[in-house]
Amino acid sequence: MTEQLLHLTEEPLWEAARRAGTYEMSTRGRTLREEGFIHCSLPHQLPAVARALYGPDKEDLVVLVIDTGRLTAPVRYEAMKAGGEEFPHLYGPLPVSAVVEVRSWSGHMAPEEGEAG
C-alpha cells in the first residue's frame, strides 16, 4: 500500500458516499465543489483537525483511511498560510474503493489533553 491519508467525516455522509460510489465533501459543511478540494490529514494532524472542526461534538464521526495509490485525482500538500504546516488536499472526488478502512473516531485515538476519558 502507498501512503495513507485520513479524512474525518460524519458517518451518515460516508454511508451516502458508499451508496453513490464517491465521496464529495471537502470538510464540515463544505462540498468538494464549493472548496475545490477535499481536506485530508496525516495521522499526526488529525487530532488538531478534529478539535478545530468539531470541538466537543464528536459523535457519529468516522475516520476514512485513504490509500493514495487508489486515487484518480491528484493530491497536493499545501499550507493554509505562508510558512504554515502543509496538509494534503485531494483535488477531485474520493472513490469509495480508495478507502481501505473506516474507523470510529471514538476508538481511533486516546482522549486529547484536557478531555475527559
pLDDT tens digits for range 35-80: 999 999 999 999 999 888 888 777 789 999 999 999 999 999 999 8
Q: How many domains does the chain have?
A: 1
Q: Is residue 83 part of a domain?
A: yes
CB 2 within 8 A of CB 67: yes
Q: Is residue 113 part of a domain?
A: no
The C-alpha atoms of residue 24 and residue 39 are separated, in whole angstroms, by 11
Closest CA to 9 of 103, 91, 93, 107: 103
pTM equals: 0.86
The pLDDT assigned to 115 comes to 38
Pairing of strands 25-27, 86-90: unpaired
Q: Is residue 16 part of a domain?
A: yes
List the domain range (segments joined by +) for residue 92. 4-108
Q: How many beta carbons lie within 10 A of that of residue 93, not counting itself?
A: 19
Q: Is residue 8 part of a domain?
A: yes
